[in-house]
Amino acid sequence: MWLLVMFDLPVTQKAERKEAAEFRNYLLDLGFEMAQFSVYMRFFTSAKQIETCCQRICAALPKGGKVNIMQFTDKQYEKIISFYGQVRQPEKSSPDQFELF
């Protein structure tokens, strides 16, 4: 399964920018990779891992803004159509690795 975290956080004040940066860094510390700005994703091998990670993310949510967490399967991930500019990118493949915690 894949977990996708999408967010739109306020960054007009210095304290808000700091909080948004801390949230992005927290996602990176949890093993997420940036798919696009404010969109982070990570592969998990079990529903229990996803549940635990969602609890950690919920505990670290910034005060303002909007955060969406979505989960989807490997098959759905492989069907993502990606473009860089107007050039279609190769189809994605799911990772072959397992993570140990």
Helices (H) and strands (E) in the chain, counts: 3, 6
Which residue is associated with the tokens 């940036």?
A: 34
8 annotated to bind ligand: yes
Token output for 22: 């801390």
Q: Collapse the DSSP code of 85 into the 3-class scheme (helix H, G, I; strand E, B; otherwise coil) and give the result.
A: coil
Please give the annotated binding residues for Mg(2+), written as ranges. 8
Please give the annotated binding residues, written as ranges. 8
